[in-house]
Amino acid sequence: MQTLDALGAGAGPAPIFAALGDRTRLSLLARLSDGEPRSIAALSADTDLTRQAVTKHLHVLEDVGLVSSIRVGRESRFAYRPEPLAAARSYLDEVSARWDEALARLKSFVEG
Amino acid sequence: MQTLDALGAGAGPAPIFAALGDRTRLSLLARLSDGEPRSIAALSADTDLTRQAVTKHLHVLEDVGLVSSIRVGRESRFAYRPEPLAAARSYLDEVSARWDEALARLKSFVEG
DNA sequence: GACACTCGCAACCAGGAGGTTGCTGATATG
DNA sequence: CATATCAGCAACCTCCTGGTTGCGAGTGTC
Spans of all domains in chain A: 10-111
Query: Containing H/E element for B57?
Result: helix B51-63
DSSP state of A69: E
Span B94-112, pLDDT tens digits: 999 999 999 999 888 888 7
User: Who contacts A15 (Cβ-Cβ below 8 Å, separation ≥6)?
Assistant: A9, A63, A64, B21
| pLDDT at position B34 over 70 | yes
| pLDDT at position B14 over 70 | yes
Query: Containing H/E element for B75?
Result: strand B75-80
- Model confidence band, residue A3 (pLDDT cutoffs 50, 70, 90): very low
- Best to test chain B binding among A3, A24, A31, A33 (most B CBs inside 10 Å): A33
Cα torsion for B98, B99, B100, B104, to the nearest 10°?
A: 100
Residues of B with CB under 8 A from a CB of A: 4-5, 11-23, 26-27, 29-30, 33-36, 80, 82, 85-86, 88-89, 92-93, 95-96, 98-99, 102-103, 105-106
Interface contact flag, B20 A21, Cβ < 8 Å: yes
Separation of alpha carbons B14 and B5, rounded Å: 11
Domain A10-111: assigned CATH number: 1.10.10.10
Separation of alpha carbons A34 and B96, rounded Å: 10
Which of A15, A30, A20 lies closest to A64, judged by CA? A15
Question: Among A32-41, B9-18, B50-59, which is the least confidently predicted range?
Answer: B9-18
* CB contacts, 8 Å: A2 with chain B: none
Q: What is the pLDDT of residue A6?
A: 37
| pLDDT at position B93 over 90 | yes
Separation of alpha carbons B76 and B37, rounded Å: 9
State mean pLDDT over A36-63: 97
Q: What is the pLDDT of residue B11?
A: 74
| pLDDT at position A10 over 80 | no
Strands B67-72 vs B75-80: parallel, antiparallel or unpaired: antiparallel
Separation of alpha carbons A81 and A68, rounded Å: 7
User: Phi/psi of residue B8, each to 5°?
Assistant: 125, 155
CATH fold of the domain at B11-111: Arc Repressor Mutant, subunit A (1.10.10)
State mean pLDDT over A43-65: 97
